[in-house]
Structure 1
Amino acid sequence: MEHTEIGIVRTAVTRADPEAVAALSAYGVATIHEAMGRAGLMRPYLRPVYPKARMCGTAVTVLLQPGDNWMLHVAAEQIREGDVVVAACTTESEDGFFGELLATSFRARGCQGLVIDGGVRDVADLERMDFPVFSRAIHAKGTVKATLGSVNVPVVCGNALVRPGDVVVADADGVVVVPRERAAVVAATAAAREAAEEGRRARFRAGQLGLDVYDMRGPLAELGLRYED
């Protein structure tokens, strides 16, 4: 999709159910991605800016102009406890849109972290604050405040569509987006997957092979796999 809504701040956001968000927070990105039918992942170039960064929350979305962080300051007013900020850009930009001062502002509003398809700086300070950030780049280059973008409009971040109020989960494996209306169902599916995986984990610990745990021998034989001495 193209970003066409410029100069808009939507203040009324329908957020995912808090109980569903809390349930999703117990699972990793890979599990949630699989629970959604292998959907929802952002591109793998979005990486945590420090080890062990992790977040889960409802999205406040931001559309930035390249080299301009004005809309992040506008977005701060729209943050509610438990939100994460998801920032996309109208075109590729790796400038340092975000740093320690904005993180301090966001945290005071209850923000759980930032995902940005752009650059950030002050990484040592962000780690010291334990303010999770997943970004396209780390770049000391500063930005200006000159051009309008938008807040709380649908954006495409890391090739994933994110709507205001969707659930965003990020960990060492990447970033995944859960549509707000599917949050409870995906959480339940993730729980079922985790339970099934624990059973398989026990079988692997006992020395069984994936060939047997996943019943692979028959399909492999049908495709012509042969064992030769």
Structure 2
Amino acid sequence: MSPIVVTNPPRADREVVGALAGYGVATVHEAQGRRGLLGSHIRPRQRGVRVAGTAVTVTVAPGDNTTIGVAVEQCGEGDVLVVVPTAPCDMGYFGDLLATTLKVRGVRGLVIEAGVRDVADLNEMGFPVWSKAVSAEGCGKGNLGDVNVPIGIAGRIVHPGDVILADDDGVVVVPRLEAADVLAASQAREEKEAKARARYLAGEIALDVNNMRPLLEQAGVRYVDYEDYRKEQGL
């Protein structure tokens, strides 16, 4: 089958994407029922950065980054490039030159289940990357993949136009058509956590804030004084 480039796929609402950027990956992951989190081997190559954008998806051949260059033309303001090789490969698919052309187009970052290089330059220029590996080994040219088709990456399916949220904790994908509902759920979770935080600051503990004592009772947990415990154990 010939490689395919899908143009102008629908994208999640920009206002919703922007609002989701106000919440962390952990919050959004929990808010959407603990779904959508990419595998923990996809790690940030910088610290203290959070991005939210709409996915432009790319498949690449092992050891060949040609299709990333093809995908640049399909990228625009507010996008996040999401790249997966068709077979496992940790080579350095992406560096400062590709980052430069993407940044000029308003792309907010890269998520790739492979390697990147020029990490110091990427950090200096402020182009955030989440990747499986870091490798100085460069790629060849000439074998093409697809752009803007559904892909499987790090244990999750990403469709073009889905929301990608990434920070120090990793990367989570929010399906395009669920983005508004997940935003509302994230807002509700944040409000709930704010109330819990106030109780912790007042000196309460998780057993009470999270109403865990009935669980302990149901599990038959006994509280035994140390001396009584010693006698029971024959110590």
Q: Name the TM-score, length of structure 1 as normaliser.
A: 0.97
Distance 2:150 2:115 in 1: 20
Alignment of 1:23-62 (within 5 A): 23-62=19-58
In the alignment, which residue of structure 1 is the partner of 2:62?
66
In the alignment, which residue of structure 1 is the partner of 2:179?
183
Distance 1:53 1:212 in 2: 34
Identity of aligned residues (%): 53
Aligned residue among 184, 189, 192 for 1:193: 189
Question: Structure 1 pair 39/6, CA: closer, same or farther in 2 (3 Å)?
Answer: farther
Q: Name the TM-score, length of structure 2 as normaliser.
A: 0.94
- Offset of residue 223 of structure 1: 1.2
Aligned residue among 102, 107, 130 for 1:134: 130
Answer whether contact 2:88 2:114 (CA < 8 A) is retained.
yes
In the alignment, which residue of structure 1 is the partner of 2:84?
88
Residue identity in the other structure for 1:219: L
Q: What runs of 5+ residues in structure 2 fail to find an aligned partner?
A: 226-235
In the alignment, which residue of structure 1 is the partner of 2:229?
none
In the alignment, which residue of structure 1 is the partner of 2:96?
100
- Offset of residue 54 of structure 1: 2.4
Q: Deviations over 1:54-100 (max 9, x none)?
A: 21100000001110000000000000100000001111100000000
1:163 aligned onto 2:159: yes
Answer whether contact 1:65 1:90 (CA < 8 A) is retained.
yes
SS at match of 1:156: strand
Distance 1:95 1:223 in 2: 50
Superposed CA RMSD:
0.9
- Offset of residue 53 of structure 1: 3.2
1:8 aligned onto 2:4: yes
In the alignment, which residue of structure 1 is the partner of 2:75?
79
Corresponding pairs, count: 225
- Offset of residue 51 of structure 1: 1.7
SS at match of 1:61: strand
Residue identity in the other structure for 1:203: R
Q: What runs of 5+ residues in structure 1 fail to find an aligned partner?
A: none
SS at match of 2:143: coil
Residue identity in the other structure for 1:84: V
Distance 1:216 1:150 in 2: 49
Q: Deviations over 1:185-207 (max 9, x none)?
A: 10111001000100000000111
Answer whether contact 2:21 2:50 (CA < 8 A) is retained.
no
Distance 1:53 1:154 in 2: 26
Answer whether contact 1:53 1:130 (CA < 8 A) is retained.
no
Answer whether contact 2:199 2:209 (CA < 8 A) is retained.
yes
Distance 1:166 1:177 in 2: 7
Distance 2:105 2:153 in 1: 23
Aligned residue among 217, 221, 231 for 1:221: 217
Distance 2:167 2:198 in 1: 25
- Offset of residue 52 of structure 1: 2.0
Alignment of 1:111-122 (within 5 A): 111-122=107-118
Aligned residue among 197, 200, 206 for 1:210: 206
